Amino acid sequence: MSTIEADRALTDALDRRDGLPAAFRFLESGCPRSAWSTMALHPMAQHWLDIHGWFRGQIGDLQTLGNAWREGAIDTAAYRAAATPRLRRLLDNLHHHHTLETEQAFPMLTAAEPRMAAGFALLDRDHDAIEHLLSAMAEASNALVRTGFDRTVSAVELAPLAETLTNRIERGAALIGNHLRDEEEIVVPVLTLRGAHLRF
């Protein structure tokens, strides 16, 4: 494996990435996360953080529902009724958000700070990795939804479908959470320090 490939393998380990790789932290001192709540961020940066906050809230609610189902506080039919429409809305919004970022926002931000090109390429590859998982989450959700229309499905048959969905939501929460964090630490400094001329 070449050095470039080794770096890429390291930075692309989205499920194990425990912080933004050092190569993409060269703007951090002028706009550290610890100062975001008190400094004047670019208006779009604040909007970005608000959208990410909504994603985190939705994922957290889905995890809470999954835990309630695992602990037996709600039955599988109640879990299906509460979780599947919420997941549908989350997946639609995440897919739309990724598309806007990859097709419009990242090219504009790369032009504003060309030294961050590799960072935006990393975020694009994150989107590809996450989209595979979103498809798997939708599949698991649809399999569970279909059982709502089939009265012959027993509670014993339902449980593994709910388990699959819960596991995929858990994995999604980890990957998406890491991506949101690292993306914010690239986008917020680039917009705030290099993007005064940018409006989306």
**In the complex, least distance from residue 97 CB atom to Fe ion, rounded to whole angstroms:** 5
Classify residue 143 by burial, with Cβ atoms within 10 Å: 0-12, 13-18, 19+: middle
Taking the complex as a whole, how short is the minimal distance between the CB of residue 161 and Fe ion, in angstroms? 29
Binders of Fe ion in range 161-200 (CB under 5 A): 183
Spatial distance between the Cα atoms of 4 and 44, rounded to a whole number of angstroms: 33
State both tokens at 13.
């380990």
48 to each of 149, 171, 182, 184, how far by Cα in Å?
Answer: 39, 23, 13, 8
Interacting residues with Fe ion between 73 and 102 (CB under 5 A): 101
Residue 43 exposure: Cα atoms within 13 Å on the Cβ side: 5
Residue (27 or 94) nearer to Fe ion, CB: 94
Q: Give min distance, CB of 83 to Fe ion, in A.
A: 23
* Tokens matching residue 63: 């995890």
Letters for 101-120 (x = contact with Fe ion by CB under 5 A, - = none) are x-------------------
113 vs 183 by CB, closer to Fe ion: 183
Q: Which is nearer to Fe ion, 14 or 158 (CB)?
A: 14
**Would you say 166 or 185 has its CB closer to Fe ion?**
185
- C-alpha to C-alpha distance for 122 and 49, rounded to whole angstroms: 19
Shortest gap between Cβ of 53 and Fe ion (angstroms)? 11
Helix (H) / strand (E) element for 97: namely helix 76-100
Contacts with Fe ion by CB under 5 A: the residue count is: 2
- Give the angle subtended at the CA of 118 by the CAs of 180 and 187, to the nearest 5°: 35
CB of 90 to Fe ion, least distance (A): 13
- Between 140 and 186, CB nearer to Fe ion: 186
Alpha-carbon span 102 to 90, nearest angstrom: 18
Q: How far is the CB of 176 from Fe ion (least distance, A)?
A: 9
The interface with Fe ion within residues 126-165 (CB under 5 A) comprises none
Question: Which residues bind to Fe ion, rule: CB under 5 A?
Answer: 101, 183
